[in-house]
Structure 1
Amino acid sequence: MSSIGLLSGSADRAQRLSQLLKDAGADPVIITDPAALPGDPGSDGLDFYIQLPVTIHPDGDTAVARVGSFLSAGLLARFSAVDRVLPVLAPGATVVLVSGNTPDEMSLPDDQQSRLALLHLLAHATRAELATKHVAVKVVSSRRSDQEIVHYALGGDDDAQTQRSPQERSGAATDYQDWRTEVMGLVGIDI
């Protein structure tokens, strides 16, 4: 049985990754329009989801407006895209978030570390939401090769010999849920 997965983001890179996934026996589907992402559970579920970055064309008359547009159309839109895919991920699936959204305007103020921190926040939120499904979530650099990204999507780790069993994933998921509960218990709301 082949792995079924979804790719979203950069159409050019998605095509290259799709071919490598097919060569590895997977059945990938490319969706470049976030509005077209599935939101309803399918019968089998997706075994992997690769979210690729895109080049953003920011709008606005001021630098502040253009940065806001860049974040809204790029990184923050990625949160909505993952949220739409959550219900269709199969237990034990893999989510690969590839960093690297870039503005097409090089003079735009940028803070790559902050953008990467937000992408890691998306990964943490995804892990928390899918902890009971034992879904693996990985943030990788856009500088990684297409072969490496495919390797991660199909369940590989940084070390090809290291494959986590479902029981190990279950323990990590429980640990994460306990941590999340503890942290959320520390939150106070001042009115």
Structure 2
Amino acid sequence: MTTVLVTGGGERLDEVSSAVKATGAEVVVVDNPDRLGEAVDGKTFDAYVQLPVAMTPGEGSVVAKVEQFLTQGMLSRFRAAATVLPTLAPNANVMLVGGQTNVDVDAPDDADARAAMLRVLAHALRAERAPERLTVRVADRSWTGEQIAAKVTGDPGESRTPTDDEEGIGRAYAEWRTEVVGLMRVEF
């Protein structure tokens, strides 16, 4: 049986977890990032669906609200992925679902930047597992729960042999990871 971890918050959590259950998979749902570590401890997952987290707008300046959005929203997704990564089975399927928007309509928002951050997370996950094959997809908010469920519970890829191109990509990610880890100084 396929075991799928679904994390995030908001109304999409029930929709997606129900759709995954309907495929016959065992589903573990975590709606609180503070409980993620204990929820995944000692478990192995064939797939991971990371939905946006639910947030409540804070008080303060526009700069403070954007900082809250980044740290509690977008960047918390990187921390969650780092926690989950060791629990993913070889050849696991990962789906990073977009949709996190800034919690304050007065604060600036950049949908392209948010999507780019998810793509960076996807590349980092692949690189961390390279040369092993980890399938990571980024979906936008238009994907239905059924579409997400079909992608993560489909053929996990274990029954096929990687192509030369895929093996080359895995080596490239492994080299990229070595370069990133070997950086002595980075300026932002």
Where on the TM-score scale, by shorter chain, does this alignment land: which range? 0.7 to 0.9
Task: Note the alpha carbon deviations across 1:106-138, whole angstroms, 9 max, x for none.
Answer: 222111111111111111111111224421111
Give the whole-Å Cα distance in 2 for the aligned partners of 1:11 and 1:30.
12
1:91 aligns with 2:90: yes
Residue matched to 1:178: 175
Task: Note the alpha carbon deviations across 1:117-175, whole angstroms, 9 max, x for none.
Answer: 11111111111112244211111101111111112212469xxxx99935235453223
1:47 aligns with 2:42: no
Relative to the length of structure 1, the TM-score reads 0.82
Give the whole-Å Cα distance in 2 for the aligned partners of 1:92 and 1:164.
10
Residue matched to 1:17: 16
Q: Judging changes above 3 Å, is the alpha-carbon distance between structure 1 residues 185 and 149 closer, same or farther for their aligned structure 2 residues?
A: closer
Residue matched to 2:136: 137
1:167 aligns with 2:162: yes
Q: Judging changes above 3 Å, is the alpha-carbon distance between structure 1 residues 117 and 26 closer, same or farther for their aligned structure 2 residues?
A: same
Q: How many residues align?
A: 184
Unaligned runs of 5+ in 2: none
Give the whole-Å Cα distance in 2 for the aligned partners of 1:166 and 1:115.
34
Give the whole-Å Cα distance in 2 for the aligned partners of 1:89 and 1:105.
34
Which amino acid counterpart does residue 78 of structure 1 have in structure 2? R
Give the whole-Å Cα distance in 2 for the aligned partners of 1:178 and 1:190.
18
RMSD: 2.9
**Which protein, 1 or 2, shows the higher relative CO under an 8 Å CA cutoff with sep ≥ 6?**
2
Residue matched to 1:30: 29
Give the whole-Å Cα distance in 2 for the aligned partners of 1:155 and 1:84.
24
Query: Does the aligned pair in 2 maintain the 1:128–1:176 contact within 8 Å?
Result: yes
Query: Does the aligned pair in 2 maintain the 1:7–1:14 contact within 8 Å?
Result: yes
Which amino acid counterpart does residue 31 of structure 2 have in structure 1? T
Give the whole-Å Cα distance in 1 for the aligned partners of 2:103 and 2:186.
41
Give the whole-Å Cα distance in 1 for the aligned partners of 2:182 and 2:3.
39
